[in-house]
Every structure is written in C-alpha cells, then in structure tokens.
Amino acid sequence: MRLHDLKPRPGARHRRKRLGQGESSGHGKTSGRGGKGQTARSGSSIRIGFEGGQMPLIRRVPKRGFNNARFATRFLPVNVGDLNRFEDGARVDETALRSLGLANGRGDGIKILGGGELTKKLTVRASAFSASARAKIEGKGGACEVIRRKPAREAGASSPKPAEPAKA
C-alpha cells in the first residue's frame, strides 16, 4: 500500500449541500429556509422563547411555590486521601487547602469526605466532616475541629429588646 492508495472510509465523506441550484437539486427555490417571513431573510435570528410578540409561555405560566436552593449551604468537597500531601502532624485549614489547590471556587465552607486512605496524623479544621472521614482522621491519632460560620444577621436583630411595660 502506498500513499496514493489511501482513501477515506466509506460514508466518511459527504457531498456538500448545494443550495439554490434549481428544483431538481432538491435544495432549490427556498434553499432549505422554508416559506416566507422573518426566518427566511438573511441575518435573521430570533431569541429563544420569542413568540412573535405574543406573551411567551414562560411568562404565561404562573410561578408558584418556594425553592430552597437559594438558601442551601454549599460545601467544597475534599477527600481524606488528598490530605496526605501535608506533612505528618500538620495543621490543615481552609487557607492551606486552597494554597495546594485542593479546594477551589466559592462555597460556604469545606467538607472533608472519606474518599481514600489517610497515612498521616493531622489536625484538620473544616466546616463539616463526614462520619467516615472523622473516623479515618481520628483513627490515625489526628483531630477534627469544626469551624462554625457566623450566620447572617436577621433584619431588626441589631435593635435592642423593647422595654417591658411598667407594672401598676
């Protein structure tokens, strides 16, 4: 076999769709654009959900109920096996994990999960621990310290308690 004998596999090459080349080509007249109107014009683009000025379905359907996703606590996961990158006896906290690239992005804290095996004694400070991660860390003689985030102050929480009415 030589270079001039090489051919693409059958079905790998397709004929180009030749638009506007007469009725018998199968792509004549409207050239695959359908009938008349906005979408038949060149440069036409209609945003998703636009219904020609009619009130779109997404706005017609009533929005009801409550979704708790906005108030969910999102932890950045870090597996126990990844903590072997620290020296024996080290103190591991969020800044140390971020500096090694083990916890990236935005979150409400870090949760240590039980994936992998731990080979070193570490003191780990995190927002949450899974039960298996806690068992593995404490099984090696290490310690798990849970850090609590300060809850957001509620409206009116800063005002002092109202005075009690005077007793007659």
More confident residue, 159 or 79: 79
Contact 68, 75 (CB under 8 A): no
Task: Give me the mean pLDDT over the 86-115 stretch.
Answer: 90
CATH number for 72-146 (one of 3.40.50.970, 2.60.40.2230, 1.10.3720.10, 3.100.10.10): it is: 3.100.10.10
Banded pLDDT at 153 (limits 50, 70, 90): low
More confident residue, 71 or 155: 71
User: For tokens 């020296």, what's the residue?
Assistant: 87
Distances (CA, A) of 161 to 148, 156, 157, 158, 164: 26, 10, 9, 9, 9
For residue 6 the two structure tokens come to 């090489």
Q: Pick from 156, 165, 127, 159: which is nearest to 144 by CA? A: 127
Banded pLDDT at 160 (limits 50, 70, 90): low
Distances (CA, A) of 77 to 8, 74, 147: 47, 9, 15
For residue 139 the two structure tokens come to 């099984």
Cα separation, 74 vs 90, in Å, equals 26
Is the model's pLDDT at 102 over the cut of 80?
A: yes
Banded pLDDT at 151 (limits 50, 70, 90): low
More confident residue, 13 or 162: 13
Percent of the chain with pLDDT over 90: 56
User: What pLDDT was estimated at residue 158?
Assistant: 53
User: What pLDDT was estimated at residue 166?
Assistant: 63
